[in-house]
Amino acid sequence: MAPRPVWKGYLKLSLVTCAVELSGATTAAEKVSFRTLNRKTGNAVRRQYLDQSSGKPVAKKDEVRGYEVEKDDFLLIEDEDIENVQIESSHTLNLESFVAKADVDPIYIEKPYYLTPGDKVSEEAFAVIRQALENRKMAGLARIVLYQRERPCLIEPFGKGMLLTTLRYNDTIRTADEAYEKQDKIKIDPDLLDLAMRVIEKKKGKFEPSTFEDRYEKAVLDFIKSKKKSGKKAPIRKDDDEEQPSNVINLFDALKKSLASGDKKKRDDGKGGDGEPAPKKPASKSSPARRPPGKGKS
């Protein structure tokens, strides 16, 4: 079943316009969900708004949005008031400029949506715009009002249609310097770097999202089944066999073991796990000193 459109409007390239529909490319539906219950009765409970002054419940029909203009002084905003606020991006995706997708910093990428023709009449114009973008290997920048907020967005060819990705505003992005300010500049030993690169090369593969599995969700389901079967409090599931990570004491040895892991047989010919001669161990002065975890710089 085709997803229900979350937005309908027009796609515009200069003087060319066509009707389009936007639908979610992802789903927020959870496989495991919980309801809040009354512990004493076992019955499900529901949330209810209470009047702040009287403490009495407020009926659904009496709920209305309010904007605080002064302390405890609110301006009532009706649904139709919001609907009457219209700007160009409320109904039109105007392709204002074009960029290479690789030029868009991943930190600005927010949420993807599928963009498709809104009717049969619009299919030809939609296909022309899509193919022009693909031939030029470009993505269009536009703006869209979605969920009562204008968002910048990126539009690019995707399969038979196009993908619209909402972008974050620059003032919502924290600079990397804030996160890395306590990080010292490290002089990297070339032998250690070579080993790390060889570990990466050995584990190189293809991006296969179908292999991703929510193992935590599975653990929760196993716990629920166990508790249902026992009829009482079930023990918390733990992976006892899984080693807890700790600080590396000797980086060179850890990288060598990482490179050798997965080999079916030991090699006694002085070669590494990938068949190439292993690099010589750095001199003692450049080797990390053995010290208890948590001491010194990591």
Residue 199 lies in a domain: no
CATH of the domain at 134: 2.40.290.10
Which pLDDT score is estimated for 225?
A: 87
Question: Which element (helix H / strand E) includes 228?
Answer: helix 215-230
Q: How many CB atoms lie within 10 A of CB 255?
A: 21
CB neighbours (10 Å) of residue 5? 16
Tell me if 34 is assigned to some domain: no
Does the residue 292 lie in any domain?
no
Does 237 reside within a domain? no
The pLDDT, as a whole number, for residue 226 is 87
Tell me, yes or no, whether 65 lies in a domain: no
For residue 178, tell me if it sits in a domain.
Answer: no
Domain that holds residue 147: 7-25+85-172
Asked if residue 161 belongs to a domain, the reply is yes
Q: Which of 105, 123, 107 is nearest to 115 (CA)?
A: 123
Quick check: 20 and 126 in contact, CB under 8 A?
yes
Provide the pLDDT for residue 284.
42
Number of domains into which the chain is organized: 1
Q: Flag whether 132 is in a domain.
A: yes
CA gap 70, 199 in Å, rounded: 61
End-to-end CA distance of the chain: 52
Q: pLDDT truncated to tens, each residue of the chain (298 aa)? A: 677 899 999 999 999 999 999 999 998 776 788 899 999 999 999 988 999 999 999 999 999 999 999 998 999 999 899 889 999 999 999 999 999 999 999 999 999 999 999 999 999 999 999 999 999 999 999 999 999 999 999 999 999 999 999 999 999 999 888 888 888 888 888 988 999 999 899 889 998 888 888 888 888 888 888 888 887 665 555 555 566 666 656 777 888 888 887 554 444 444 444 444 545 554 444 444 444 444 444 3
**Residue in this structure with the two tokens 């809040």, named with its chain if needed:** 36
DSSP 88: H
